[in-house]
Amino acid sequence: MSEREQKNREAVVTMLSGRKVHLFEPQPEEFDVLDVAKGLSTIARYNGQTIKPYWVGDHSVLVARIFLKQEQIEFAKYGLLHDGAEAVYHDMTHPFKYMPEMAAYKKLEKKGQRALYKRYGLEEEPQEVKNLDMLLTNNEKRDLRNGIGLSADAEFYPDLVITPWGPEKTEREFLKMFNLLFGEEFGEVAIP
């Protein structure tokens, strides 16, 4: 067995469902939306440096809702799952995540995100999702971080004030949105 194969066998995260996700070579079938919802509903955005706890899952549901409201179903699917790999690889603050020393981590997280997308019939993330994701950070900074890091000419998603949920509600809303967007194709999941 090669050194890489040995590392892949050992670098495994066991999810609440009992599924094992291989960090170096994640496979689509290793991902389950119940695990993703559970993880994202308890991972804090901005390393928890917000005036109220704000979960990655809150953000993901918000992105999906905006696209759904605009009747852009395909973008809504990507929006819901766009940070899904963080349920396995965790979230890191932007400056840390994008340091040159973190290139290997970014590569692994990208592999995980591609495997998750593939699991649910998606391919490369559309630029529109990335654009909305970035725009919403301004709303989040304004509403949850006392304006920290906002430039004077910052743009905001209109008529939106970010109101965080607790972890339980976040998990339920994430799964409700999954059922709405993916339930017909992949089967509806039970909502706790």
Q: Is residue 191 part of a domain?
A: no
* Tens-digit pLDDT string for the chain (192 aa): 677 667 766 789 999 999 999 999 999 999 999 999 999 999 999 999 999 999 999 999 999 999 999 999 999 999 999 999 999 999 888 888 889 999 999 999 999 999 999 999 999 999 999 999 999 999 999 999 999 989 999 999 999 999 999 999 999 999 999 999 999 999 999 998
**Could you tell me which residues are beta bridge partners of residue 25?**
none
pTM: 0.94
Q: How many residues does the chain have?
A: 192
Q: Is residue 119 part of a domain?
A: yes
Q: What is the pLDDT of residue 8?
A: 64
Q: Is residue 39 part of a domain?
A: yes
Q: What is the pLDDT of residue 94?
A: 83
Q: Is residue 192 part of a domain?
A: no
Q: What CATH code is carried by the domain that includes residue 31? A: 1.10.3210.10
Q: What is the pLDDT of residue 190?
A: 93
Round the CA-based radius of gyration of the chain to a whole number and report it: 17
Task: Report the alpha-carbon distance of residue 192 to residue 179 in Å, rounded.
Answer: 13
Domain count, the chain: 1
Q: Is residue 189 part of a domain?
A: no
Instruction: State which residues form the domain around 147.
Output: 3-184
Q: Specify the residue for token string 């019939």.
A: 121
SS3 assignment for 5-25: HHHHHHCEEECCCCCEEECCC
Q: What is the pLDDT of residue 6?
A: 72
Q: Is residue 50 part of a domain?
A: yes
Q: What is the pLDDT of residue 63?
A: 98
3-state class of 14 per DSSP? strand
Task: Report the alpha-carbon distance of residue 156 to residue 85 in Å, rounded.
Answer: 26
Q: Is residue 104 part of a domain?
A: yes
